[in-house]
């Protein structure tokens, strides 16, 4: 097939961008070569071969030395772990439960604010935060301490049923009571409870079914 030289050159230069870089001595020979064989047959190759004289269409590709990945900052979970453990101890809670709630509520983003106005790591609603004596919901110490006390009160109110306590944390205790002390049939709450329980099970290293009312 005959192609105008300018079009052929443009095509081959475009193809050059798809060749992988190579290192060592091979880098000196890397490139696209046009070999004209018998009956004006055109061959493309990345290595000169045969008796035909290769024509380098694209400049040789050179290898690059990858840069070292940037150092990762300490995990946000690790950064608040001491606060979590202190709050858990004061409120007789599993610290893993607090971590599971924080991970689900805010993803450890201290400045998180929900569409409904919940604030901070444990996503405290302003009214709840005020009732718990919080003056700054974006202060990790205050937020986690208050969130732990709130979760403890919900566990006590619902007979230590973790599922119902989590449902109340998400939808409000009144909603759980209004639906016969069951998880309210709200899509958000029905997804929230197993999500926290699954994270809790992962942290504890004991796989638990989403509907297990009492994860170990």
In degrees, to the nearest 5, what angle opens at C-alpha 181 toward C-alphas 91 and 196? 50
Give CA–CA dist 59/54, Å, rounded: 13
| 177 given a catalytic annotation | no
Active-site residue (options: 28, 105, 188, 190): 105
Strand partners, 113: 119
Give CA–CA dist 63/156, Å, rounded: 64
Handedness of CA 44, 49, 54, 60 (dihedral sign): positive
Helices (H), the chain: 5-16, 26-29, 76-79, 81-90, 95-105, 126-131, 140-157, 162-171, 173-178, 187-204
What tokens were used for 214?
Answer: 């009492």
The answer for residues whose C-beta is within 8 angstroms of residue 118's C-beta and 6 or more apart is 105, 124, 125
Using DSSP's 3-state secondary structure scheme, residue 33 falls into: strand
Q: Which residue has the tokens 């924080």?
A: 102
What amino acid positions are annotated as catalytic residues?
A: 105
């Amino acid at each position: 097939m005959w192609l105008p030289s300018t079009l052929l050159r443009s095509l081959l230069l475009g193809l050059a961008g798809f060749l992988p870089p190579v290192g060592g001595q091979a880098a000196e020979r890397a490139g696209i070569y046009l070999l004209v064989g018998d009956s004006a047959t055109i061959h493309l190759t990345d290595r000169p071969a045969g008796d035909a004289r290769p024509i380098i269409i694209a400049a040789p590709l050179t290898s690059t030395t990858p840069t070292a990945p940037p150092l990762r900052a300490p995990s946000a979970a690790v950064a608040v772990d001491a606060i979590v453990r202190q709050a858990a101890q004061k409120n007789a809670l599993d610290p893993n439960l607090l971590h599971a709630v924080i991970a689900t509520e805010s993803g450890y983003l201290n400045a998180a604010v929900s569409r409904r106005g919940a604030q901070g790591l444990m996503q405290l609603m302003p009214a709840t935060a005020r009732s718990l004596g919080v003056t700054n919901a974006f202060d990790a110490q205050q937020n986690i301490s208050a969130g732990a006390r709130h979760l403890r009160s919900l566990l006590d109110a619902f007979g230590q049923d973790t599922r119902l306590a989590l449902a109340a944390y998400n939808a409000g205790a009144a909603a759980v009571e209004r639906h016969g002390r069951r998880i309210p049939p709200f899509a958000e709450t029905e997804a929230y409870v197993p999500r926290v329980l699954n994270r809790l099970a992962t942290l504890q290293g004991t796989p638990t079914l989403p509907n297990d009312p009492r994860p170990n």
